[in-house]
Structure 1
Amino acid sequence: MTNRRILSLWFPRLGADRLVRREPVLGGVPLAVVQDQQNMQVITSLNALAQQHGLRVGQPVRDAHAMCEGLITRSRSPAAEAAFLASLRRWAGKFSPWVADEAEDGLVVDLTGCAHLFGGEEPLVQVVQEDCADLGLMTHIGLADTRGAAWALARFAGQVGVSDRNGDAIDQEARATRSRAGKRRHWTRGGAAPVTTLGRTAGAHRIAAPGQTYGALSPLPIAALRLDAETTAQLGRLGLRRVGDLLGQPRASLARRFGRGLVMRMDQAMGSAPEPVSPAKPAEHFAVRLTLPEPIGLEDDILAGIDRLLPRLCQSLEAKGRGARRVRLQAFRSDHDIQGVEVGLARPSRDPARIRPLLELKLGEIDAGFGIDMLRLEAVRTEPIHDRHAVGHLEAGRVVSARLAGNTALDDLIGRIGARVGLEAITRLHPASSHVPEKTSTIQAAAWTAPHDGAWPAPATPRPLLLWRPEPVSAPDVPQMPHAFRWRGQNLVRLRAIGPERIAPEWWLDDPDWRTGVRDYWVTQTQDGQRLWLFYGHGGTMSSGWFCQGAFA
């Protein structure tokens, strides 16, 4: 049976290297990637220049700016880093089909039976290093018989846990022991006992030969076993600071004192416990294509091709229980140019009759040139569609009635308008829980939200059809409704008024529009037929006065 060989790739500067690839100018300045943690910003990644200034990962940003005056910071994007790591996972597939993520900044590759394709393990590691250098990535590599050992070599090769035979540090010992410490010749009189340090060996090897896992891990610090910080600190206080020191201890006593997690990590590193490499599940891909015997250029011919492609695409979506939210049509021309259009749907669908009209609206944007040789249809974005369940005749009638009274036609209309102006431009209002007039509703994208279910909550008094930010009104600064006032350059005379309705601001928020304090609202009808919504602000942090905020139909 072939022995397993595991390759571990660690990218300690993944976040910074990703930004430098996008903006090469950042490679010439100290760069730090920061993230909010516990009410402060801390560093999550650094480039080489920032590390030369003594900065470190986990350091507060305020301290980093004090140490490095020209430090440039960028906010961390976990989603972008995960997408970048996914692209690196696809790149690592050239070495083996068994590739998986290792936390948020590494990859693990099962190289069993694959190294000979590159001339051996040393040439393969050289190829990995050259590829990462071409990609502008700093990488540490570990290769061993087990996943745990490869992880340890990638992150701790070259670091040595200095063992202290005298056990605990002097500041951890009892008072009597500390009083005798000054008499020990090998300690400096009056100083502290030796403590754990990490050193670098001159020629550290990151490749452990087959069967040499014990020798490769023995000099490494305890943290190389993927233990938590608390367990590592407890072992250090007992004088167990190297992996070799721990492997020689009785397993039963270690399990009783530190739990089975420590023993499991030891077994995984040494190969006694299995730890397989499970490759990430490939993303679902929905696309079909049609190769044409002769170039085409008419819209009717393209539509005929779409009619052949759409049923196949919808069948593949139905087999996976998904519906398309965004569909892309690509036309490959005979001059090797590619013309493409995209359409979006207000609801996920796998019905060709609902997708075809949207594509037909976009065909005018395709330039056929000297002819189109191939058509390709792809569901760029999909969402799950819940399966239907069987019901009785009475329930089925209710479902059909509800479906006929539903908003399928509205969804189609949103999709058609969205194909012209974009789905993001179509919005709808949803009620919000607030007594403030301008906050009683929220604006949401119509394609990504469902209509409000139920009656719209109505206030005790009517609200104007049009609302705007408060505009000043020239009138006497008194709480009584004025008989005549001036607004927007118009001299208006009150015919009748209804009110007042007192509305208080949200005291827990500092809204600039509500710094006038408590408001008294009036529905005012003028002699020229206008119905306005005026209020008198009693004055909070601003002066009091009259304002106009809306108009009735």
Structure 2
Amino acid sequence: MAMAQRRILCLWFPRLAAERVLRRRDDALPPPFAVVGERRGAQVLTSVSTEAEALGLGPGQGLRDATAICPHLVTAAEDLPGEAAFLTVLRRWAGKFSPWVAEEPPAGLTVDLTGCAHLFGGEEKLLGVVEADCAALGLTVRAAVADTPGAAWALARHSGRAAPALRSGDAIEQEAHATRSRATKRRRLAPPTGGPLGVIAAPGHMRQALAPLPVAALRLPDGAAESLARLGLRHVGDLLDLPRAALARRFGTAVLRRLDQALGFEPEPVSPARAPLHFAVRLTLPDPIGLREDVEAGLDRLLPPLCDRLKEKERGARRVRLQAFRTDGQVPTIEIGLAQPADTPDRIRPLLALKLETIDAGFGIDMLRLSAIETEPMVTTPHRGPSSAARQADALADLVGRLGARLGTEAVTRLHPAESHVPAKSALILAAAWSEPAGPWPEPHAPRPLVLFPPEPAEAEGSPPSRIRWRRRERRIIRADGPERILPEWWLDDPQWRNGPRDYWVVELDGGERIWLFQALGGLLSGGWWVEGEMA
């Protein structure tokens, strides 16, 4: 049985960023609109609407020039994460045409249509479905079907567009007659057929489809298309009959590689994005509910099936979201984070119960939705019975989760040892929910203060001193232990250590306090006496 001819569909959304914002507006006559981003320190237009483009505005144009042309231009700030998420939504929509859909950021999709177009009545009717769906979504789309991803990409973005104009004297047609007479005569091949629904290149005719396109359609590296254009090689057809060795010698192998990919001589697979793991359950209620006890009962029905799905995939929830869909369209939402991945209801329910009071039922809740929005693999260990260490670890994780539900996950922290001999850098502050308890701490060479604070200046004389003036009080030193010399980290330029090495003393004051005192021995800055902590 013969293998089906490979066919690739490329979808390009030239106004994706602007139309993504305009879809949320309900203007009867939308104003000229543009998305503004920062490029090399300047504010430029990154995407424009159809109305703005009709006034002469376009991507890459400076914002100041654009507002001078169109004073009533409406703008919005660029949102790259939002645009990427919207492209992912479009990828899921394009899955109706083929299971093999790949994203081409920032505004394109590549679909492997091999063996799928006949399900829609052929490629032309499939493009009709694409156009109808995109029109319903309020999106502008340019579509092309070809044998290779490179050819489909080129046709979708450059079909019907003229090659860029050259400066006088740059084109090969403007050279001397003797030079032109030795130039190779190049054939002009016919463009592919296509209609308003998109461009369809006939199978096996990629040379004819690509020949009239500008060389930029080959996805060349920066500067390569301009270098080719300076020699008069402005169209892909100009490259087809050139000697390959000379072309590679002059412009490198990247040009030949892109040309071979577009013609199908070098394979270029379509790598679809892997479907994300999805863990969510919902409960539709016959009558609206409003009591906390009813919400808790619904939660008790949702948690077991959610945990069963997590266990099936050997995953544990790290962040769980509960949504309450009200009859008036509002959706109160609560989220909780867990210190350890969990796949049992008894570990998740107490944390959700702490926040149930924040849900306003309004005129009633008719649906509950519970989802694990962040998950991690569960580490499976042989069952040997509940050990004391395991119970303590679970209890600590539950405590961190409860505190995080009240104070915020990032507000609960723990200390971890750091690789530094400087006392102020001997510990790292990490979020307790996203870190493991530290193992045995390294033993210090000398006693360390219970409370450590930024160095405070003091006045003292002698080594060790007998009296000290600190915090505007004159104090008498009863006892001094030391010194312990600590050198700065010479490989780092720490402003706090520019006064050179330090001699640390543990001194006891006449009032019974024990402080951590050091003398800076001088470096780039002057020395002196400083207090950095209080001992136990």
TM-score band w.r.t. shorter chain: 0.7 to 0.9
Residue in 1 that maps onto 2:436: 450
SS in 1 for 2:465: coil
Please list, as runs of the form range in 1=range in 2, the aligned pairs for 1:16-165 lying within 5 A after superposition.
Answer: 31-34=36-39, 46=46, 82-90=84-92, 92=94, 99-109=101-111, 112-113=117-118, 120=125, 134=138, 141-146=142-147, 147-157=149-159, 158-160=161-163
Please list, as runs of the form range in 1=range in 2, the aligned pairs for 1:41-440 lying within 5 A after superposition.
Answer: 46=46, 82-90=84-92, 92=94, 99-109=101-111, 112-113=117-118, 120=125, 134=138, 141-146=142-147, 147-157=149-159, 158-160=161-163, 184=178, 207-211=198-202, 213-226=206-219, 242-247=235-240, 269-270=262-263, 277=270, 279-388=272-381, 397=384, 401=387, 404=390, 407-440=393-426
| Aligned-residue offset at 1:347 | 0.5
- Residue 526 of structure 2 is aligned to residue 540 of structure 1: no
| Aligned-residue offset at 1:523 | 0.8
Gap change, CA 1:336 and 1:222, over 3 Å in 2? closer
Q: 2:266, 2:179 → 1: CA distance?
A: 45
Q: Could you give the per-residue CA deviations for residues 172-205 of structure 1, whole angstroms, max 9, x where no partner exists?
A: xxxxxxxxx9783869xxxxx99x9xxxx9x998
TM-score, with normalisation over the residues of structure 1?
0.71
Task: Please say if residues 35 and 78 of structure 2, whose CA atoms lie closer than 8 Å, have aligned partners that are also in contact.
Answer: no
Gap change, CA 1:78 and 1:113, over 3 Å in 2? same
Aligned partner letter, 1:322: R
Task: Please say if residues 500 and 523 of structure 2, whose CA atoms lie closer than 8 Å, have aligned partners that are also in contact.
Answer: yes
Q: Could you give the per-residue CA deviations for residues 320-342 of structure 1, whole angstroms, max 9, x where no partner exists?
A: 12111111222334555433322
Task: Please say if residues 327 and 380 of structure 1, whose CA atoms lie closer than 8 Å, have aligned partners that are also in contact.
Answer: yes
Task: Please say if residues 14 and 45 of structure 1, whose CA atoms lie closer than 8 Å, have aligned partners that are also in contact.
Answer: no
| Aligned-residue offset at 1:531 | 0.4
Task: Please say if residues 326 and 344 of structure 1, whose CA atoms lie closer than 8 Å, have aligned partners that are also in contact.
Answer: yes
Q: 1:97, 1:404 → 2: CA distance?
A: 44
Q: Could you give the per-residue CA deviations for residues 306-327 of structure 1, whole angstroms, max 9, x where no partner exists?
A: 2222111111111112111111
Task: Please say if residues 534 and 550 of structure 1, whose CA atoms lie closer than 8 Å, have aligned partners that are also in contact.
Answer: yes
Gap change, CA 1:310 and 1:467, over 3 Å in 2? same
Q: 1:426, 1:443 → 2: CA distance?
A: 10
| Aligned-residue offset at 1:99 | 3.4
SS in 1 for 2:346: helix
Gap change, CA 1:544 and 1:444, over 3 Å in 2? same
What is the aligned-residue identity percentage?
49
SS in 1 for 2:463: coil
Gap change, CA 1:45 and 1:349, over 3 Å in 2? farther
Q: Could you give the per-residue CA deviations for residues 367-403 of structure 1, whole angstroms, max 9, x where no partner exists?
A: 3445443332211211111344x6xxxxx65x86475
Residue in 2 that maps onto 1:60: none
Task: Please say if residues 8 and 109 of structure 1, whose CA atoms lie closer than 8 Å, have aligned partners that are also in contact.
Answer: yes
Aligned partner letter, 2:432: A
Q: 1:427, 1:497 → 2: CA distance?
A: 35
Q: Identify the match of residue 529 of structure 1 among 490, 512, 533.
A: 512
Question: Tell me, which stretches of 5 or more residues in structure 1 are unaligned?
Answer: 36-40, 58-63, 171-180, 188-192, 391-395
| Aligned-residue offset at 1:522 | 1.2
RMSD across aligned C-alpha pairs, in angstroms?
A: 5.1
Q: 1:541, 1:120 → 2: CA distance?
A: 77
Task: Please say if residues 157 and 217 of structure 2, whose CA atoms lie closer than 8 Å, have aligned partners that are also in contact.
Answer: yes
Q: 1:53, 1:462 → 2: CA distance?
A: 69
Q: Identify the match of residue 447 of structure 2 among 446, 449, 462.
A: 462
| Aligned-residue offset at 1:236 | 8.6
Q: 2:379, 2:283 → 1: CA distance?
A: 30
- Residue 494 of structure 2 is aligned to residue 550 of structure 1: no
Residue in 2 that maps onto 1:9: 11
Task: Please say if residues 457 and 529 of structure 2, whose CA atoms lie closer than 8 Å, have aligned partners that are also in contact.
Answer: yes
| Aligned-residue offset at 1:359 | 1.9
Residue in 2 that maps onto 1:472: 457
SS in 2 for 1:184: helix
Task: Please say if residues 140 and 155 of structure 1, whose CA atoms lie closer than 8 Å, have aligned partners that are also in contact.
Answer: no
Question: Tell me, which stretches of 5 or more residues in structure 2 are unaligned?
Answer: 25-31, 69-75
Gap change, CA 1:18 and 1:33, over 3 Å in 2? farther
Residue in 1 that maps onto 2:73: none
Residue in 1 that maps onto 2:29: none
Would you say how many aligned residue pairs link Structure 1 and Structure 2? 495
Task: Please say if residues 319 and 373 of structure 2, whose CA atoms lie closer than 8 Å, have aligned partners that are also in contact.
Answer: yes
Gap change, CA 1:408 and 1:254, over 3 Å in 2? same
